[in-house]
Amino acid sequence: MKPISIVSFVLLIASISLVQNVQSQACVDSTLIDPNAICPALWAPVCGCNGVTYGNDCEAVNMGGMTSWVEGECTGTSQDCLDLGGIDFGACDMAMGVVLINGSCQFLSGCGWEVEGTDYSVYSFNSEEDCNTNCGNEAECIDPTLADPLVDCNVFDPLPVCGCDGITHFNECVVTYMDWVSEYTIGACPEDCYDPSRIVEGINCPSESAPVCGCDSVTYNNACEAWYLGGLAQWTAGPCETSGVMEANAQHAPQLNIAPNPSNGVFTLRELGPFDHWSILDATGKLVLQGTGPQVNSDLPHGSFLLYTSGYAPARLVIR
């Protein structure tokens, strides 16, 4: 048998380490958890990849850090198609059964079904055929064999694609070699505009000015900033057009100062006194909030709004 070289051995260990790291984050991504997120009080249950039922997909992401889920409540059986890619069953070689691992039906080996007090045997199948029959969409879409740690994808030039998993991915390289999605179409998934999981604080996007108008009606310096700073999946080339109402009023009235802007819904109107009245309208012109005074503590959803107050030109307000 030909001995393995030191370089090959190092690359092999690095590849295994990378795959294990990806798998360990396959279900729960703690960076997605945001206890301050405002989710709708809507009962549209989803079963997280950790076997926990969440009230809706917003709660799954912001409360559980879920990276994947299926619609409906968890049943605690194999019908949940629970992905066990992030579970460490130990380094033993005992054959255990067929389970869904990173979207693919595979034979699992390990030291036993119980891990940290949880018995995962209820999520196993008797055969690959049974697994594929029940979880076919997941198994056919995600193909771990596409992983290639030697491929260096450009992560600063977003050209979104819609994967067969129903998720918008950064570009063709990322969706294939980093996310392991077997099929996709060019362009963001329909109805996908904003997703907080795309935001990366402190990302060093190129400083090149190539303005785009985001699907939130906010102008970004370039597409990289629209994706990482705005959390957007869709935009058009060029800056957003200024509202005709804002243009007309701006010629004859000073601009209102909103800080911070964008904000999480809590901001200050620096020029206003305690009894000055203001109104906030959404993109359709509908009144969504009104009040008095310089301090605003709102639960407005993410998006772009117009803030009106007497004596000042309408100001654009962005909620993240």
Residue 292 carries which side chain, given as an amino acid letter?
Answer: T
Residue whose entry in the numeric block shows the structure tokens 């362009």: 187
Q: What pLDDT shows up at residue 242? A: 52
More confident residue, 288 or 69: 288
Q: What pLDDT shows up at residue 42? A: 75
Is residue 318's pLDDT more than 50?
A: yes
User: Is there a contact between 230 and 212 (Cβ–Cβ < 8 Å)?
Assistant: no
Residue 159 carries which side chain, given as an amino acid letter?
Answer: L
For residue 92, what are the β-bridge partners? none
Is residue 19's pLDDT more than 60?
A: no
Confidence of residue 128 (pLDDT cuts 50, 70, 90): confident
Q: How far apart are CA 206 and CA 147, in angstroms?
A: 27
Is residue 62's pLDDT more than 70?
A: yes
Is residue 68's pLDDT more than 90?
A: no
Q: For 86-125, write each residue's pLDDT tens digit.
A: 788 898 989 898 998 877 788 999 999 988 788 889 999 9
Give every CB contact of residue 139 below 8 A, 6+ residues apart in sequence: 100, 103, 104, 105, 131, 132
Q: For 285-313, write each residue's pLDDT tens digit.
A: 788 899 999 999 999 887 778 888 888 87
Is residue 261's pLDDT more than 60?
A: yes
Q: Which domains does the chain have, with CATH numbers?
A: 27-134 (no CATH), 143-192 (no CATH), 194-241 (3.30.60.30), 244-319 (2.60.40)
Confidence of residue 139 (pLDDT cuts 50, 70, 90): low
Q: For 206-242, write each residue's pLDDT tens digit.
A: 888 898 888 877 788 899 989 988 889 999 998 877 5
Q: For 151-185, write each residue's pLDDT tens digit.
A: 999 999 999 999 988 889 999 999 999 888 888 99
Counting other chains too, the contacts that 34-43 makes at CB distance below 8 Å and 24 or more residues apart are 34/62, 34/196, 35/62, 35/63, 36/264, 37/61, 37/62, 37/63, 37/196, 38/265, 38/299, 38/301, 39/63
Helix (H, G, I), strand (E, B) or coil at 241: coil
Q: What pLDDT shows up at residue 185? A: 93
| Encoded tokens for 141 | 């879409």
For 141, 178, 180, 198, 297, the CA distances from 105, given in Å and listed in that order, are 11, 19, 14, 28, 48
